[in-house]
Structure 1
Amino acid sequence: MGDTGIGLHELLFERVVADPTLSSTSADLVLAAVESEEALTAVLNGGSAPPRADVAEGAEPDGPSGIYLRSIRAQGFRGVGPAAALDLQPGPGLTVVTGRNGSGKSSFAEAAELVLTGDNSRWRDRQTNKALWTQGWRNLHAAGPTQVEVDLVVQGRAGATTVRMSWDEGQALGEDNWTVQPHTGQQAGKREPVTAGWLPGIDVYRPFLSYGELGALLDKRPTELHEMLHGLLGLGVLDDARDRLKAARAPYDARAKAVKDAKQRLLAELASVDDLRARRVEELLGATRPDLDALAEQLLAEDADTDAIADLHAVVAIAVPTVDEVAAAGERIREADRQLAEVGTPDATSAGAVAALLQAALDHHSVQGDMRCPVCRTGTLDADWQAATAAEIARLNRDAAEFRAAHAAVQAAVEEARRLVTTVPAVLRRPLPVDTDAARRAWSTWEDARSAAPDELPEALRVAHAELTSAVDAVQAAAKQALVRLDETWRPVSSRLWAWHEAATASARDASTVTNLLKAESWLRVAAGELSDERMMPFATRSQEIWRQLRQESNVDLGGITLTGSGNQRRVLLDVTVDGNDTAALSVMSQGELHALGLSLFLPRATRDESPFRFVLIDDPVQAMDPAKVDGLARVLSEIAKDRQVIVFSHDDRLADAVRRLPDAAHVYEVQRGARSQVQVVPNHDPIRRYLSDARAVINDSDMPDDLRREIVANCCRGALEAAAHAKVRRVRLGRGDAHTDVDRALTDARTTHDKVTLAIFDDPARRRALLPHLALIGGWAADTLQACKQGAHGGLEGDLNSFVRSTRDLADLVLR
């Protein structure tokens, strides 16, 4: 099905290199944005992106992969009272779990979904059902604690992992104790609390599909279905990259907007000034794109004593960090120091070295095997030592990592604080009509504070900043007074014009960066669309293949699947046609067709090669499906089961019957629910064996009256014969290509047992009179058995019942030939 996250960087790099329309700067921005925020910042600052830690093609993703289900257990949960288990074969293969409505079979499906995801899709999005769920999730017949758990087996690993969710009596649904416990062979590991993200990929590849979710799959909001497929294709990386580019562009856009708004305010102010100088500047500033060089020349020409005025403006424009910025920088240092003090124990500082030493010992032991300690000559290096040492290494590595992180945080906070300190502005060193000595001395003190030791830096900066702020405020006030004295009317406007000119010049310098960022965003938008189409193609092809098998006699066809739109307009376009005509097909499809289409979207998602889950669990997929689609579903599931563990729950025996008609073997179980919610899972045999097994059980019931026993045995045997006839007719007629509807009609028209057996043996209902002579030629017992089945169901069955059941079995075998 192709790559998702793995290989995406390489695909983008190839496209970037091959695109002659993309400048080198924009290309660097694209690749850096895809990599990380830090890489993008580095490129914007004129540097190169840090090297990327590539993921090798085909590398194993984080977390376990090749996960199968070995067992689902429940106690006191939903329809299950006393503890019950559904044991499974942890490997590829098809398992069908049948049972009447209310038998408790769906409780196993819901238990598995809940314990692995922490949620249940059947109830999640429905307010009415959610109330029923929160009130009825405990079984009414089970007192005490409630518990659900699954055993997971990971391909290539010994043992299993048990995931459990339990509730004490009286606890609410959300007050669960959710744990995971690994097992290696017979050894049980430590049971740990489940944490967020403990099972990577469970949201993207979600291997569960309930009946309610199947019905709602195509009812999802357009953005929800889009997000499901978009995340599945691994295109979230490109969304993140575009978000980073947009965020990087935001400060530039904000500065450009501030310049534009300030320009309008200045034009309004100039219009109110009755001065020829204002008219000349207004003409330059009013252009769509003002000539900044010409504006600067005009301002210089209009200012008297140009050098002094410019210097005074420069003094007024001097900026120092705010009190809050300095205080915040100091607090970050102190907080980082506190964090370092908490983790910087003597043991933590040497944890890395000790871990390396112990790792070397472990490596030595793995090569040499068990031995006496080569250092102390007293201890023994054995399996217990190895396990304890591995745990100690893990702890030491965590301590060392925490210490390194805390130390790095201190260094980062100190560097950030020191960046607040800049050198003395050059204007303060020039001769000015105001006294700048105090400001220069304060600034020199401010520069010296940068060299203070890290633990003394916050206080040094605070003290020096207070002095600096006071001195700069004083010199700026003096500079403003000097400017006022030079020109009461023009100078305030001129001062603001100079400030605007400086901001506009900076914004103009930003223009090329903004252009490159916009080009990078645009290029990524187009590339995302193209990659979306490319990656969607195999997914859509697989969905079409599944739909073709499921649709059977439907006149609805599924074409392409396309992701389109952005923001709140994102949606999935399904190219669905009726008899080859474009139409709003979803509105005219039957519920069975909609379910089949939903399965066509679910199965490719849940069975992608990249999914770590090698199982899919589907609850009641055949409701509202006609027999043709049930047969098609059986074939689809059997095909998927060649390399997946497929577990299907259904109260409809048609799926189990269809699966039995396939050449590939499948496990079929039945969930039976007894008094007080006692649930058991038993093998489910074909209907013929089931009827005959029931007959034998009745024969062995010594408490049953004999006349009633004989009537029930006759009914069971008649049911076995009719089941054999149904199986034979379906096998023959469907095998030669008859439509399911025609086969069903023929079986419906065969109203009696005699008619059904006639149809099975002769494939011609009109030959009903020839049936008994035909059976008589085979043997008198065959005709007698058929007659006994028909008549004995109404009473009067005579003879040995065990012999009668054996004869019925032989006749059923004959019908099936």
Structure 2
Amino acid sequence: MEKVLVDLVFERAEKDERLDDRAKGHILSALLGQDPRTGAERRESDPPAEEAAAPASVFLCGVTVEGFRGIGPKATLDLHPGPGLTIVTGSNGTGKSSFAEAVEFALTEDSYRWRQRPKQWAEIWRNLHHDHPCGIRVALAIDGAGKTVVGAEWERDTGLPDAKLWVQVEGDKQVKGLDGLGWATPLENYRPILTYEELGGLLRAGPAKLYDALEKVLGLGLLKEAAASLHEAVKAAEEPVLRVRERTNALQATLPGLDDARAGKALSEVTKRKPDVDVVAALATGTGEVNRAMDGLRNLAEVVVPDAGAVHALAAEHEAAEKGVLGLGAASELAERRLDLLEQALGLHDAEGDQLCPVCRTGQLDQVWREQAFAESEGASAALREDKQVRQRLREAQRRVGDLLSAAPVLPEADLPSMPAARAAVEAWRAIPRDQGAGERLRARHTALVAAVAAVRDEARAELARLDDAWNPVARELAVWVEARRAADAVLEEVKSLKAAKKWLVENAAEVRNARLLPFADQARDIWRELREESTVELGAVTLEGSNNSRRVRLAARTDGAGAEALGVMSQGEMHALVLALFLPRAVAEQSPFRFVLLDDPVQAMDPSRVAAFARLLAGIAATRQVVVFSHDDRLPAAVRRLVGVNARIVEITRSPGSVVSTQDSSDPAERYVSDLRAVVKDPRVPEEIQREVLPSLCRAAVEAASREVHYARVAGSGASHGAAEAEWTAKQRTRERVTLAVGTEKMTRWVKEKPWRDATLKVCTSGVHKGAGGHPQSILEDLEKTVDDLRALA
């Protein structure tokens, strides 16, 4: 059934152009019980057995009860494991419902009746006359497994929940628990056991409970599971988005309180719908343009001034060079001019030769003069070279002073108290003259510069420490925000498609539910038409509406031509009949592994005409299902007895003192035909020639009915397929062939010849149908009775 529903939902999703492929994939994964995000298997258990393979047919062979509810000593209700109708009847208090509850508890570990009663009532579950041994055994015929017994046993003085449950396939050991059957989900979806209390409880509980019950039997819980799975997937996928939202809210509360340019920039980014995450990352790590505002303070914190030792050494050197130049005096300059004049005269002589001195006009510039003048020039040059070196040292010292002053510290802009004094000290340093006295000024202004720069450096370091103390925790928060934001950005498309998938499933759930309900609603209307008899209420559309606390089943109806809500215009009996009409289609669904339906007291509130209709309905279902009905109402077995050609059996339950419960066949199909034949034979008003015409058909019907029960019981016990048994029976058209199925091919001839009445009865069933029965009708009746008993003994 799940596969059918999955196909139905996904087919609708595939046709919806508003959904992208990713959203469709999420829906399919959720429907298949997988994680909608990854497609990985999510369920702890395997899919229901009916999805993995064709359902195995399960029939009831019988139930044995001891010390449980109204049954004291061990009592057994035998059932024929095949299609057919069995009415278990008896007055109130005989133990009928105890058999029904025993089957229900053994298969489900619960009982609807007990759920609706006070705790004290449920505690009184052991039989008062026979409380130990206490146990239940339900015999089943399962295709492929043969006869299987499900048991529940209690030790002395243990409670109801302490039951020891087990399963045993014929020939194998007992297996603890019921898990091996794999019926937990089918029992929920195709509940084959319906009680009067359950039907009435659904009506009394209100529209939501009826909605839930229908949703369960239709297997629509899968839609809820899928929607819940998508909801959880959205929550999981949205976690990064929620985390970054929380981080953003925290930063919005923190950042405005920081006196820091970085805080303003960070705030402007984190509050954007599409922030520049790289900018925030740079703020968190101390890189990027916005952090250059901090570089000024960092530079101030590390600013340096010329080394005091170097400054003092240069000052001393400048002063020494300055002193050396001052020591040369004016004579040095006169000697330099005279040497210059002498060198010019020597140059003139070298160029023009001997001549009268152009300066004094008395002396002669000749060779003798030249030799004396050259010697004098050489001596003066040596003295002047020493003077030049002294002046060069002063010029070099002045240049180095200039370089030192040019290397004055650069102070970035900063709003610090000591900045004006520091800038003034720097400007004063740069303005030192390089002339005489520069050395002393270097010493004095360097001391002022050092003090001023030290002050601003200390302030810059203190300000940086203050800002960093406030910023570092925020920087860490920003780093976390960056990671969270990137994680959120990475899942945005996934969140979008998951939300679209969830929204689509929620919006389309109602239509899917009612599309799934439609064929069963049609069956329910068909059943209601059979059951309503003289009722003026005509059932219309059956739909599931609403969700959550407003969910309900809408049962549209018309009464006397006017539209109405069905439950609002129906009598109690009609409402019970309606609920049966709603739930029987699921109990007999083809996908169900249970080929039996067990009904406990379904006709309590029905009027006589509806009971007759209900009997016809049950007979129709019994053509393909094993139908077991427990009822204290004599009207139902009476109605069944009136049906013609129905494979029906009536079992009477009686109770003796001490909770001794007994079962007795009041009527089964073979017995009914024998009874009909007996009535014909005993009726003096029926001429013998007419009796001879009727008897062969009744004989044949009785023999075939008994043979059919034996055949089905044998096949069920062997574990062979019910379908194969039915096909084998249908393929045999002759009475002798069908008796052979019951007796066995190898034994058939001997079995017939062993007793003369068997051969005589088979001849009446075969040739007598065409020629009429020979022999006396009373003899034919007696032979038939013994032959039917012999066939029953083979079961």
Match of 1:668 in 2: 650
Of 504, 513, 522, 2:494 maps to 513
SS in 2 for 1:41: coil
Quick one: structure 1 residues 678 and 511, their matched pair in 2 at CA, closer, same or farther if it must change by over 3 Å?
A: same
**Displacement of 1:484:** 4.9
- Paired with 2:96 and 2:470, the residues of 1 have a C-alpha distance of 88
Amino acid at match of 1:21: R
Matches within 5 A, 1:442-461: none
Amino acid at match of 1:241: A
Amino acid at match of 1:213: E
Of 14, 17, 21, 2:18 maps to 21
Of 226, 246, 250, 1:241 maps to 226
Of 194, 198, 203, 1:213 maps to 198
Contact 2:35 2:233 in 1 (8 A): no
Matches within 5 A, 1:259-408: 259-275=244-260, 278-279=263-264, 281-287=266-272, 290=275, 292=277, 300-304=288-292
SS in 2 for 1:562: strand
* 2:77 is the counterpart of 1:86: yes
Of 103, 106, 109, 2:94 maps to 103
- Paired with 1:632 and 1:194, the residues of 2 have a C-alpha distance of 40
Match of 1:132 in 2: 121
Contact 1:74 1:80 in 2 (8 A): yes
Quick one: structure 1 residues 296 and 132, their matched pair in 2 at CA, closer, same or farther if it must change by over 3 Å?
A: closer
Contact 2:652 2:663 in 1 (8 A): yes
- Paired with 1:598 and 1:54, the residues of 2 have a C-alpha distance of 29
- Paired with 1:556 and 1:519, the residues of 2 have a C-alpha distance of 43
Once the two structures are superposed, residues 216-249 of structure 1 have per-residue CA deviations (whole angstroms, 9 ceiling, x without a partner) of 1222355543333323333333433333332222
Of 621, 629, 634, 1:653 maps to 634
Contact 2:650 2:667 in 1 (8 A): yes
Q: Percent sequence identity over matched residues?
A: 43
Contact 1:7 1:57 in 2 (8 A): no
Amino acid at match of 2:99: F
Match of 1:503 in 2: 484
**Displacement of 1:17:** 3.8
**Displacement of 1:632:** 1.5
SS in 1 for 2:181: coil
- Paired with 2:557 and 2:484, the residues of 1 have a C-alpha distance of 56
Match of 2:172 in 1: 189
- Paired with 1:544 and 1:56, the residues of 2 have a C-alpha distance of 30
Match of 1:115 in 2: 106
Contact 1:92 1:643 in 2 (8 A): yes
Once the two structures are superposed, residues 528-573 of structure 1 have per-residue CA deviations (whole angstroms, 9 ceiling, x without a partner) of 3332221110111111111121121122232222233344444333
* 2:600 is the counterpart of 1:619: yes
SS in 2 for 1:86: strand
Of 682, 696, 702, 2:664 maps to 682
Match of 1:369 in 2: none
Amino acid at match of 1:67: V
- Paired with 1:628 and 1:242, the residues of 2 have a C-alpha distance of 45
**Higher mean Cα deviation, 610-619 or 523-532?**
523-532
Match of 2:589 in 1: 608
Match of 1:60 in 2: 53
Match of 1:232 in 2: 217
- Paired with 1:162 and 1:16, the residues of 2 have a C-alpha distance of 45
Of 121, 145, 151, 1:164 maps to 151
Quick one: structure 1 residues 487 and 6, their matched pair in 2 at CA, closer, same or farther if it must change by over 3 Å?
A: closer
- Paired with 1:113 and 1:28, the residues of 2 have a C-alpha distance of 40
Amino acid at match of 2:58: I
**Displacement of 1:16:** 4.2
Of 594, 600, 624, 1:643 maps to 624
Amino acid at match of 1:35: L
**Displacement of 1:607:** 1.0
* 2:134 is the counterpart of 1:146: yes
Amino acid at match of 2:135: Q
Quick one: structure 1 residues 160 and 308, their matched pair in 2 at CA, closer, same or farther if it must change by over 3 Å?
A: farther
SS in 2 for 1:667: strand
Once the two structures are superposed, residues 96-153 of structure 1 have per-residue CA deviations (whole angstroms, 9 ceiling, x without a partner) of 11111122222221221122221121122221xx423422x33333364122212101
- Paired with 1:532 and 1:295, the residues of 2 have a C-alpha distance of 50
Match of 1:445 in 2: none
Once the two structures are superposed, residues 592-637 of structure 1 have per-residue CA deviations (whole angstroms, 9 ceiling, x without a partner) of 1121112112211211111111111111111121111111111111
Once the two structures are superposed, residues 373-424 of structure 1 have per-residue CA deviations (whole angstroms, 9 ceiling, x without a partner) of xxxxxxxxxxxxxxxxxxxxxxxxxxxxxxxxxxxxxxxxxxxxxxxxxxxx
SS in 1 for 2:2: coil
Quick one: structure 1 residues 123 and 162, their matched pair in 2 at CA, closer, same or farther if it must change by over 3 Å?
A: same
- Paired with 1:639 and 1:308, the residues of 2 have a C-alpha distance of 97
Q: Which runs of 5+ in 2 are unaligned?
A: 298-461, 676-795
- Paired with 2:86 and 2:203, the residues of 1 have a C-alpha distance of 26
Quick one: structure 1 residues 268 and 181, their matched pair in 2 at CA, closer, same or farther if it must change by over 3 Å?
A: closer
**Displacement of 1:204:** 2.0
Matches within 5 A, 1:541-556: 541-556=522-537
**Higher mean Cα deviation, 494-503 or 558-567?**
494-503
Quick one: structure 1 residues 196 and 675, their matched pair in 2 at CA, closer, same or farther if it must change by over 3 Å?
A: same
Quick one: structure 1 residues 501 and 81, their matched pair in 2 at CA, closer, same or farther if it must change by over 3 Å?
A: closer
Quick one: structure 1 residues 245 and 39, their matched pair in 2 at CA, closer, same or farther if it must change by over 3 Å?
A: closer
Q: TM-score, with normalisation over the residues of structure 1?
A: 0.55
**Displacement of 1:662:** 1.8
SS in 1 for 2:38: helix
Amino acid at match of 1:496: E
**Higher mean Cα deviation, 245-254 or 533-542?**
245-254
Contact 1:484 1:491 in 2 (8 A): no
Q: Which runs of 5+ in 1 are unaligned?
A: 310-480, 694-817
**Displacement of 1:288:** 5.4
Structure showing greater radius of gyration is: 2
**Higher mean Cα deviation, 536-545 or 494-503?**
494-503
SS in 2 for 1:683: strand
Amino acid at match of 1:147: G
Amino acid at match of 2:193: F
Of 253, 258, 261, 2:238 maps to 253
Contact 1:146 1:166 in 2 (8 A): yes
Of 167, 181, 187, 1:198 maps to 181
Matches within 5 A, 1:690-709: none
- Paired with 1:494 and 1:678, the residues of 2 have a C-alpha distance of 85
Q: CA RMSD in A?
A: 3.6
- Paired with 2:203 and 2:608, the residues of 1 have a C-alpha distance of 22
- Paired with 2:597 and 2:49, the residues of 1 have a C-alpha distance of 27
Matches within 5 A, 1:713-724: none
Once the two structures are superposed, residues 168-214 of structure 1 have per-residue CA deviations (whole angstroms, 9 ceiling, x without a partner) of 4433333323222111xxxx321222244734112221211122112
- Paired with 1:482 and 1:615, the residues of 2 have a C-alpha distance of 88
- Paired with 2:226 and 2:152, the residues of 1 have a C-alpha distance of 38
**Displacement of 1:94:** 0.9
Quick one: structure 1 residues 486 and 539, their matched pair in 2 at CA, closer, same or farther if it must change by over 3 Å?
A: same
- Paired with 1:586 and 1:56, the residues of 2 have a C-alpha distance of 36
Match of 2:611 in 1: 630
Of 560, 565, 579, 1:598 maps to 579
